[in-house]
Structure formats: structure tokens, C-alpha cells
Structure 1
Amino acid sequence: MTDGSAQPPGDGSRRRDRRARPDSPPADAAGDPSAVLHAHLRAARSEFENQVARTRADFEEANERLKERTGRDLILAILIGLAIGAVLIASLIIWKPVFLILAGAAAILGVFEFTRALQVAGRRVDLVPQLFGAAALLLSAWFFGDWLHWVVLWAVVTVVVVWRLLGQMVARDGRRYADVWDDVVTGVLVQLYVPFLASLCVVLLRQDRGEWWVLAFIIIAAAADTGAYATGLTLGKHPMAPRISPKKTWEGFAGAVLAALVAGVLLAALMLHLPWGTGLLIGAVILATATVGDLGESMIKRDLGIKDMSSWLPGHGGVLDRLDSILPSAGAALALYYLLTPLVTQ
């Protein structure tokens, strides 16, 4: 026995089917090809948006894990690094003076960062002579040549020392002799570490085909850094220098060795027109100087009690944090140029 509310057979199942499939076209549009197409397009767009949302969530989660492990925004660091690399390559290939401007700006910013960090740590380092000294060293390396460049270096060091001593005499604050001496030595260190080493890169740039040598040693240093980072991140277990830089591992160093040697061989043969065997020497030397520079700056930052020299380059830290492996490699690259240029094959 049935009542008046009974429904035709199959009607409830059709409603349940429509509820289970909200993206299916309505029954009244089933015979309309345009409506069916629009319904499928909406369903495809909805699926695409959901997929994008899931991919973005997975990406952000992976990036957060990397940030927790490395302390840096890896994706942002890669993007900034690629942008800097593109500008660097363009300046070297298109017109050398553009690279001089970039190198000068980087050196001056590095001096500014280093000086400010030392001042915060209690050292009395005078910013004005440091900045003028950096500009003088870079310009002399470009315009005056090798020997006069050394004369300018001694003049700049003398100005830095005299300026600090005169400043101390004017202050008359009873500062201990040992502290004053440390201030003087620190001021000289700033000039030798940042602008002088950067000026050696400019001296190399002035040489015949020097732009290719500059590009080559920077690529090798960057390859070593990338190899160390990637290998250390994935395989690193044994700390290399835990008291200086706890995150550097021997596995990462092995990755740096492989990357530097491969890059050295390829660049020697394809860019520098040298026998491929010399690429092993170039790669090994640049690897050594880049590693020493990296560990050296880490030691300085640990002594100052800071993580980065500044936060001007998101994902990288400061300008000097990006120059730590490049600066000492510039002098090594210049020496290799003088040594290996006679072996160049046309």
C-alpha cells in the first residue's frame, strides 16, 4: 500500500547521482551541446585550480623545510643569484667598463657592511677613509696599471692608519694602547680584504682576454659553492669545521671538488683555449682559495657574533657574504693568468 508522496522509481537515485557529481551538466541542458561544453570547462578549470593550490602548498611546505635546515629562503636566493649572474655575464661580454662599475659598487658596499659590523662590535674603524680608499684602489687598478696600483695601496693604507691615530688623539678618551693598535690593524684589514682583492680582479680584467678569465674563475667559484651546498644538503653528515661553520660538511666539500674540477676542465678547453689538463689546476686552485675565503669570512662573522654581514640580498645575506669566496680567488686567478697564458692555443 502506498501514499500520495510516493516517487516514481529511479527518481531518487538520479537525484543522489546528481549530488554525487556536482560538476555534471544539469538534466535540462543534456541536449544542449553548448551547455555541456561550458559545464566541462568549469569542471576542468576547477580541477586545474585545485591542482595549482595543491602544488603551491607542497612547494611552500618544501621551501619551509629547506629554510628550517639552511636558515635561508632557497628559492628566493636562487632567483637573486640568477639575476646577478645574468647582469655579470652581460657586463663582461658587452663592455668591460660596466663590470668595473659593478665591481666598484660591490666593493664599496662590502666595505660599508664590514665597517658597520666592526663598529657594532666595538671596533673603531673610520668609514670615510675606508670608502675613499676602496674607490681609489679600484680606479687605480683600471687606469694606472700594475706597479702604480701598488703605490696607491700603500698610500691608502697610510691614510687609514693616520686617520685612526689622529681620531684617537682628538678623542682623548683614555683608550688602551692595545685597543688602539687593534683598531689600526682592523682598519688595514678591511682595505686588504675587500677593495684590494677586488682591485686584483680589475687588474685581471684589463689584460688581453681578461674578461674571459674573470668570468671563468667566478663560474668555478660559484660551481664549487653550488656543489658544496647541494651535496651537503642531501648527503652531509660529517662536519668539516664545526667550530667555524657548523653546516659545512666533508660530503659538501667533496661535491665542491667535483664541481670545481669539472668546471675548470670545461672552461679551460672551451673558453680560455688552454689544454684541458690545465683546467684541473685552475679548478683546484680556485677551489682552495674559495674554500679558504668562505671559512675565513665565517670565522670573522663568528668572532663578531653575527650570522650575516647585512640583509641587503634576501636569501644570501649581505654583499660581502656573496663575495667571500670570490675575493681571494681573484688574486689566484691573476697569478694563474700570468702562469698559463703562454700555453694558450689559438
Structure 2
Amino acid sequence: MPKEQHRSAAEIEAQIQAQIHAARDQIEATRARVNKRTGRDLAAAVLIALALGGGLLASLLWVKALFLVFATALVGFALYELASALRFAGRDVPRIPLVLLGCAILPITYFLGPAGLWWSTLGAIAVVAVVRLVELADPATRRGGRAVLQDVAGGALCIAYVAVLGAFAVLLTAQDGGEWWTLAMIIMTTVIDTGALAVGVWLGRTKLAPRISPGKTWEGLAGGALAATAAGIPLSILMLGQEWWFGIVLAGLLVVTATVGDLAESIIKRDLGIKDIGSFLPGHGGFLDRLDSILPSAVVMMALFQIVHA
């Protein structure tokens, strides 16, 4: 009898272990299907998004100036990623001076305003170009006038695309009450991305731009627009102090800018022949992959703020 009880207990334990392994395999298979459909490690993406969101909220709602530090760090990583991707594609872009000068644009903009933004941008582009020209003293860096011009243009692209557009978010935050507009913008772009992803995975059939971004669908775009409208109306009333219809206008504009920003980065990645600009953030690719929707949206949000407070 004890031997039979021992055998029965062993069989039960084996069955439990088999069920655990079967459940684990099923979870992994489901996760693999979701990751394949979304093009990212969704679990890692959610954890990273929560961490970044926590840092964002702390910087905006605790001490507003901390957002400058937060944004400058993100822009610095994104600049390094894009410059590295360009170098991988054969463009000799001076990364270190580009990152340092590009990051300097944000605090100059925060404290000096629009004039600081434009003068620091011109200065950063000029210095990066001069650094590339000085490098020509080394014969190994001489690849012809056209190639050098493309290198200089690559550096200017990095600064204009990442640092300047990122500086608009800092400029917006620096305004009286601007932190709420920045927070609303980031919430809206996150909602748009999440809504488009969820509806695209569930119902997506019609490709939006198959040659640029095969994963995007018109159904996903519609889902992002609906989610943006649902979020935009209460955010406009409760956070921005505007009328309910302002939320519909805001949703429409940010859907366009977020989509254009995402597609613009996809064009860059396609031209460079890479899947992700960087690999710092598991499930997201890189920092620029998370900022692509926010960067152009910051310009529109700053314009709306100026119109409302004119």
C-alpha cells in the first residue's frame, strides 16, 4: 500500500509538471504570435514604456525643470543612435560633437526661448560641419567632395530631426502651464500608437503604406484616431482648460503628425537598410523608435499653445 501511494504521488507530480510545461509552451507560442504580428517583444515593450512613463510624470509634475534633464537624455541617446545608423550606412558623421552640440540646443532653448533655439541650431550644424572638414586632414577620411557633402548633410539631418524637434517639447514645457500641454501631447501620442497597434493586430487588413511600413494598416489608423478622440476630449477639458471640440481638433492634428513621424522614421530605416535605429530599449528598438511620433507632434502642440494664448 505505501508503494502504491508513492507511485500515485509520483504520477500526480509528473502530471502537474507536464501541465505546467504545456501551459508554458502555450504562453510562449501565444507571445511569439503576438510579437510576430506587432513586430516587437510586447511584454518588454510594456515594461519599458511604464518605466519611461514614470520618469516622464516625475519630471513634469514634480519639478518642471527636471523635464529638461529627462528630454535632453532621451535626445542624446536618439542622436547617438541615428548618427551610428548613418555611419553604419557609410556616412562619416562626427558622433561625439554632434551629440554634445545637439543636446546643448535643449537647455539653450529652455532658458533663452525661440531665439536661442535658432541660433544654437545654426551653430551646432556649422560646428559639426567644420569638424567633418577638419577630419579631411586625415587621408583616410577623404572620399571625394560629394561624399563629404553627404556627411555634412547627414549631421544636419540628425540635428534638425532629433534635437530641433525635441527642443520644441522643451520650449513648450518652459511656458507658463506648458507642462500640462506637453503631458497631454505625450498621452495622446501614446494612445494613438496603442490604439493603432491594437486595432491593427485585431482587424488590420488594408495596408497603409506597404512599401514604407508593411505593418501599418488603415484599420489601425482609424483605431488610433478613435482612441485619440476619446482621450482628447477629456484631456482638453480637464487638463488644458479648453472646450470639448478642441479635443477633436487636437486628436485630428496629432493623428496626422504621429503617423507622419512614424512613417518618416520608417523611410530613414528603409533607406539605411536596418530594422531599428537602435537597440537600447528591448521591445522598442531604440530611443528614436519611441520618439518618432512625439517629435513632430511637439511642433504642432507648441503652435496650438501659441494660438490659444495669443
Residue in 2 that maps onto 1:324: 292
Note the 1:257-272 alignment, pairs <5 A.
257-272=225-240
Pick aligned residue for 2:40 from 64, 72, 77? 72
**CA 1:277/1:130 → structure 2, altered by over 3 Å: closer, same or farther?**
same
Are residues 125 and 254 of structure 1, via their aligned partners in 2, closer, same or farther at CA, if it must alter by over 3 Å? same
Of 108, 125, 138, 1:157 maps to 125
Query: Are 2:263 and 1:295 equivalent residues in the alignment?
Result: yes
The match for 2:244 is 276
Task: Provide, for residues 4-35 of structure 1, a one-character-per-residue CA deviation record: whole Å limited to 9, x for no partner.
Answer: xxxxxxxxxxx8xx88x947xxxxxxxxxxxx
Question: How far is 1:60 from its partner?
Answer: 1.9
Change beyond 3 A, Cα 1:176–1:64:
same
CA deviations 1:34-57 (Å, max 9, x no partner) are xxxxxxxxx9x9999887665444
Structure of larger gyration radius = 1
Of residues 136-145 and 313-322 in structure 1, the stretch that sits farther from structure 2 once superposed is 136-145
SS in 2 for 1:124: coil
The range that moved more, 94-103 or 175-184, is: 175-184
Alignment of 1:1-346 (within 5 A): 22=8, 55-168=23-136, 170-171=138-139, 174-341=142-309
Structure 2 residue identity aligned to 1:208: D
TM-score calculated relative to the size of structure 1: 0.82
Partner secondary structure for residue 309 of structure 2: helix
**Inter-partner Cα distance in structure 2 for 1:282 and 1:276:** 10
Q: Name the amino acid aligned to 2:66.
A: V
Higher relative contact order, structure no. (Cα contacts within 8 Å, ≥ 6 residues apart): 2
Kindly provide the CA deviation profile for residues 99-155 of structure 1, in whole angstroms up to 9, marking residues without a partner as x.
211111110000101111100100011112211211220110122222233222221
- State the shift of 1:280 in Å: 1.0
Are the aligned partners of 2:135 and 2:141 in contact in 1 as well (CA < 8 Å)? no
Question: Identity rate of aligned residues, in percent?
Answer: 44
| TM-score normalized by the length of structure 2 | 0.91
Distance 1:132 1:51, change over 3 A: same
Partners in 2 of 1:77 and 1:136 — Cα distance?
A: 29
TM superposition shift of 1:174: 5.0
Count matched residues: 306
Structure 1 segments unaligned to the other structure (5+ residues): 1-14, 24-42
Measure, in 1, the Cα distance between the counterparts of 2:91 and 2:140. Answer: 16
Q: Distance in 1 between matches of 2:237 and 2:81?
A: 38
- Structure 1 CA distance for aligned equivalents of residues 54 and 91 of structure 2: 37
